[in-house]
A and B are shown apart, each in its own frame.
Chain A
């Protein structure tokens, strides 16, 4: 399969919990990586592998996966978490890299 599907937009109230999902057949075999992009900035890796956070990413970010769906959960999002979030993984062959279409997160 050569597609990763994300909801175009999600909103969450300050202090609540939000889950951003990514669906694709290749996620049954390969882990998802997640990138956050704020306006006018380059993307930043926020989650990789099986729930691994890069240095500097707060622990309110967590990742999970089940079947063909990967999720990025933000527990108690802050205003600075408002951004576009992209999932990424391999295609079924493992040789190509795919991106989801991105989810615009609004923190109310």
Chain B
């Protein structure tokens, strides 16, 4: 079983950027597909996009396409999500998800979540 461990909670200013990391333990990192899902307080799940390591393909939810970036670092088995031009409504838990292979879904493994609060 693969374990995903995310970076810790952050507080950000409006207009700034944030980066959340997600380190994978177990399995073969280069074969993994990672997706990012966020959840505003008391709200439902929202898919942001993902990266398929085997092909390098990135998929983006239209709402985030212009200000999100997904990267991977196979030397540290870590994947990253950067979100720019932060607004107060970006305050949410951000979850890293993963699976083996080149398909985008389902989301087999989940990180513990990272709370990012955007406030002036």
Interchain CA distance A54-B35 in the complex, whole Å: 18
Does A54 contact B108, Cβ atoms closer than 8 Å?
A: yes
Query: Closest chain B residue to A42 by CB distance?
Result: B110
Residues of B within 8 A of A54 (CB): 108
Residues of B within 8 A of A42 (CB): 95, 110-113
Does B110 contact A44, Cβ atoms closer than 8 Å?
A: yes
- Indicate whether A65 reaches chain B with its CB closer than 8 angstroms: no
Instruction: Give B residues with C-beta under 8 Å from A.
Output: 35, 37, 44-47, 50, 59, 61-62, 95, 104-108, 110-113
Can you pick out 18 interface pairs between chain A and chain B where the beta carbons lie within 8 Å of each other? Answer: A42-B95, A42-B113, A43-B107, A44-B110, A45-B107, A45-B108, A48-B106, A88-B45, A88-B105, A88-B107, A90-B104, A95-B59, A96-B61, A97-B104, A98-B47, A99-B37, A99-B45, A99-B46
- Indicate whether A23 reaches chain B with its CB closer than 8 angstroms: no
Interchain CA distance A89-B106 in the complex, whole Å: 8
Q: State how many angstroms separate the Cβ of A40 from the closest Cβ of chain B.
A: 9
Instruction: Give A residues with C-beta under 8 Å from B.
Output: 33, 35, 37, 42-45, 48-49, 54, 86, 88-90, 95-102
Interface of A: prevailing SS = strand
Does B105 contact A90, Cβ atoms closer than 8 Å?
A: yes
Query: Closest chain A residue to B46 by CB distance?
Result: A99
Does B47 contact A99, Cβ atoms closer than 8 Å?
A: yes
Closest 8 A-B residue pairs measured CB to CB?
Answer: A33-B106, A48-B106, A97-B47, A42-B110, A99-B45, A102-B44, A101-B44, A42-B113
Query: Closest chain B residue to A49 by CB distance?
Result: B106
Residues of A within 8 A of B37 (CB): 43, 99
Interchain CA distance A83-B94 in the complex, whole Å: 19
Residues of B within 8 A of A49 (CB): 106
Does B95 contact A88, Cβ atoms closer than 8 Å?
A: no
